[in-house]
Structure 1
Amino acid sequence: MKIPSIKGFDQAALEKYVKNTGWLMLARVGSMAIKVVVGIAVTNYLGKDQNGILNYPVAFVTFFTAAAALGVDGFITRELLRNPEKKNELLGTGFAIKFMGGLIVLPLIYTTYVIANSYNRIDTPLVFIMTVGFTGLIQSFNIIDSFFQSRTQGKYIMRVQIAGNVLSAAIKLALIIIGAGLKWFIFALLLDAALLAAGYLFIYQNNGESVFRWTFKSDIAKFLLKNSWPLAFSAILVSIYMNIDKLMIEYYKGTGELGIYANAVQFAEAWYFIPVAVAASVFPAIMNARRDNLQRYEKRMQNLYDLMVWISMVLAIFITFTAPYLFRIFKPEFYSGAHVLSIHIWAGIFVFLGTASAQFLIAEGYTKLSMLRTAMGALINIILNVFWIPKYGIAGAAMATLVAYACSTFWILLIPKTRHQGIMMLKSLLLITLYQKLKGSKDQPG
């Protein structure tokens, strides 16, 4: 298949990365389409108040499940690449660490809920929170994901995820058909994690491996815990960054407004798989260019920033104008969330750029800067939500997210050694590089 040429891009490289990413993107688009369709059905069935209660446990528990993972997944993948013969020790130790983390956070979830409920009554029952809290234990089996990543066998991961999404969608539609109550949709959230874990187990065993050969090694555990804590802390910060607005909306405005907001945000964030897939595809080429040719390295980073801006900007413009019509047709009860989607979708531009610049930070070994950038974004988000949610409601939360994402992404402008990359991102965002590419193509003799 011939990929259409884009001015300013190396055609051979473009074809390579598009083909490498194509099946992954197709699978993710299919999964997203399933989630959107089922999401529309579930939210319309439950209504805004119950939808708010359904979303609250996920937002509440996500901080704890991020902590429970202890950031070991990334290090397991790296160590499997370096020492594939130690796969059973690495996977067994990683699984044990994550499982113990999942156990430890359960009483923390309970205690935090009790304290928070004593200050401000939470509409979501404790049993719902604790039910979702058990996902931290079940997700221990997701360590198998690292095994397939280390072998560049992403097709297996995608098969598991797609199958899980299809089964999850079927279960939720069945619950709607039989007229099930809210508690069954809460249990379905736990079942989603169980289906994914079962899929990983099945495909791992089906590839001639066995979890019964996994072993725990204390020296590996010490190594993982010593080196993975920055990633664990970053995961917690990301969870705060992306979910604190939902908790604060419930606190200030109640579950009804949370249901409307969560519904809009779910659609806005559904597109965030795109930058992750693109960045993962081009990362090896970026690392090779950094090793062999710094000029090519910089050009590839600039092209990546350009691509991220073009995709996200087209999405933002399209959704901004169509959001009112989409809500009026598919979700009339949630129509007041259309303006939230129109605001929140623009945060995607900075998410796309932030994902791209993260490749530079990883390539240069600036992992602590990446963690600080996330921390600053989370802090700004919290501060703005405190002032803007009481004043502007759920629109204020969307604006806070937009500003926080923008500040976090361009924070690297304040650091001398990363400032040049920030300027490159600004050139893409302001469409300066697009103008240069178009001008360059016109100046070339035809």
Structure 2
Amino acid sequence: MLVKLTKKINVNFEIKKIISNAGWLLFDKFVRLMFGLLVGVWVARYLGPETYGQLAYVITLISFFQVIALLGMDTILVRDIAHNIDKAHQNLGTALILRFCVGFLCLIVAVGGVAFFNGAHFALLTLLAGGGLVFQCADTIDIWFQSQSQSKRTVIAKLCAYTITNIMRVVLILCHSPLWAFALLLSIDALLSALALTYAYRKFRTKHQWSATVEKCKLLLSESWPYLVSGLSIILYMRIDQVMIKNLLGEESLGVYAAALQFSTLWNFVPVTLSVSLAPYIARKKREGEHEYYKAIGNVFLMFSFIGWGITLIISVMSPFIIEIMLGTNYTNGIGVLAIHVVTNLFICLGVAQSLWIVNERKGTFTLYKSLTGLVVCGIANLTLIPYYGIKGAAISAVLSQFSASILFNLFFAKRIFLMQLKSLFFLR
């Protein structure tokens, strides 16, 4: 009786810890959402579709390299630290060094590649905006906080930096600053976030000083490479449409498309944030037994489906009011884009939920094949639909690729997960 009571108390404490951690992460994203709706939209209105399209194009190119610089290690590091906290300093130290070196290399390649294909103007914007490729190695500190359900430390640190950056962004608008200043502010934001995280770490350290080892480097890279390639594939099929729109339809169309997507993609943080807090919990359920493990996974699918449906229906119905009120008449062509593209949130929610299963089953290559499927579908759909339907065709392609990668793929290679996803779509247990 005493053992059962103790176990129940521990479970309740664990759940409260998860809820508290998720609450802090959601608070962070909510504040960023407010800044995005106010300052981010103001920037889009100030720059106009064509100039904003240039900035969006540079951000899209940098996002490809940001995925590479992170090396796909986040969930692996959280899992390993949750299993053995005594080795946390080696995991984190090795990841930090790897990410710094790769990030610096990515910045050089990004600027050189853009200079060759797009000219000096876009190369300068990439150089000014690409500092985050180097500074984001400090996000390794966040991995430590995540593993200990201490994400509030990351939230406070990054929100301080983000608030300062947005104040500076408003100043730039009021001073009628040029495009390059807004590009530079992206690197400044990354630098301030890195400094704030470093300060936060001083208040909550690991037991031992961080250190890097060649052996740990090999182990991390050997397991993380499928997640890296899959992450790159995901960002490709989520952003390649913007590259194709710029080349096929022009910078103005890209500006309208990118501005409309702000109101669709900003909701992606909800399932991602919750999955970060649930990752240690699911990892522990895996050790408790098959029944408890799949019961927990099923509940996650059900919860994420409810969230996905809520986002999709509300934003789709409100899309005319959102575009006209927030962005103005210059962006009215984005109404249909938003109404269609927001459907991706439903499939993204279920895909993120499945990632918890993939990590605990150590099926890294599975993630790779799923994302490659999405990339192939996205490429074919965009080439087919954009010439006929313009930016709406790109939105339809995004929905098709997310559905293929997140759900349809499982029909052939993970039927148990597919059935769980299908039931969750209709709120069945």
TM-score by length of 2: 0.88
Query: Superposed, which structure 2 residues align to 1:145-164 within 5 Å?
Result: 145-164=142-161
Q: Is the 8 A contact 1:102 1:134 kept in 2?
A: no
Q: Is the 8 A contact 1:412 1:419 kept in 2?
A: no
Q: In 2, distance between residues paired with 1:62 and 1:275?
A: 20
Q: In 1, distance between residues paired with 2:282 and 2:23?
A: 19
The alignment of Structure 1 onto Structure 2 pairs a total of residues equal to 417
Q: Secondary structure at the match of 2:332?
A: helix
Say if 1:80 and 1:283 are closer, same or farther in 2 by CA, change over 3 A. Answer: closer
Q: Is the 8 A contact 1:257 1:394 kept in 2?
A: yes
Match of 1:300 in 2: 296
Amino acid at match of 2:126: I
Q: In 2, distance between residues paired with 1:171 and 1:240?
A: 31
Amino acid at match of 1:391: Y
Match of 1:319 in 2: 315
Q: In 2, distance between residues paired with 1:59 and 1:419?
A: 34
Instruction: Give the unaligned 5+ runs of structure 1.
Output: 1-11, 438-446
Match of 2:35 in 1: 34
Bigger drift between 280-289 and 333-342 goes to: 280-289
Q: Is the 8 A contact 2:46 2:173 kept in 1?
A: yes
Match of 1:354 in 2: 351
Bigger drift between 353-362 and 243-252 goes to: 353-362
Match of 1:203 in 2: 200
Instruction: Give the unaligned 5+ runs of structure 2.
Output: 1-11
Amino acid at match of 2:343: W
Residue 231 (1) aligns with residue 227 (2): yes
Deviation of the 1:123 alpha carbon: 9.6
Say if 1:368 and 1:411 are closer, same or farther in 2 by CA, change over 3 A. Answer: farther
Q: In 1, distance between residues paired with 2:185 and 2:124?
A: 14
Q: In 2, distance between residues paired with 1:428 and 1:295?
A: 18
Deviation of the 1:24 alpha carbon: 2.9
Q: In 2, distance between residues paired with 1:204 and 1:289?
A: 29
Deviation of the 1:225 alpha carbon: 2.8
Deviation of the 1:235 alpha carbon: 2.2
Match of 1:219 in 2: 215
Q: Is the 8 A contact 1:373 1:411 kept in 2?
A: no
Q: In 2, distance between residues paired with 1:57 and 1:358?
A: 29
Residue 116 (1) aligns with residue 117 (2): yes
Match of 1:403 in 2: 400
Query: Superposed, which structure 2 residues align to 1:127-138 within 5 Å?
Result: 127-138=124-135
Match of 1:126 in 2: 123
Deviation of the 1:184 alpha carbon: 0.5
Which among 255, 259, 276 is matched to residue 259 of structure 1? 255
- Percent identity reads 27
Deviation of the 1:131 alpha carbon: 2.2
Aligned-pair Cα RMSD in Å: 2.8
Q: Is the 8 A contact 1:350 1:406 kept in 2?
A: yes
Deviation of the 1:82 alpha carbon: 5.2
Residue 191 (1) aligns with residue 188 (2): yes
Bigger drift between 163-172 and 344-353 goes to: 163-172
Match of 2:44 in 1: 43
Q: Is the 8 A contact 1:56 1:124 kept in 2?
A: no
Q: Cα deviations across residues 94-128 of structure 1 (Å, max 9, x unaligned)?
A: 222112112222342244324433xxxx7952111
Say if 1:269 and 1:124 are closer, same or farther in 2 by CA, change over 3 A. Answer: farther
Amino acid at match of 1:228: S
Which among 341, 345, 353 is matched to residue 342 of structure 2? 345
Deviation of the 1:337 alpha carbon: 0.5
Q: Secondary structure at the match of 1:125?
A: helix
Residue 177 (1) aligns with residue 154 (2): no
Say if 1:326 and 1:113 are closer, same or farther in 2 by CA, change over 3 A. Answer: same
Q: In 2, distance between residues paired with 1:112 and 1:222?
A: 29
Deviation of the 1:78 alpha carbon: 4.3
Q: Is the 8 A contact 1:385 1:400 kept in 2?
A: yes
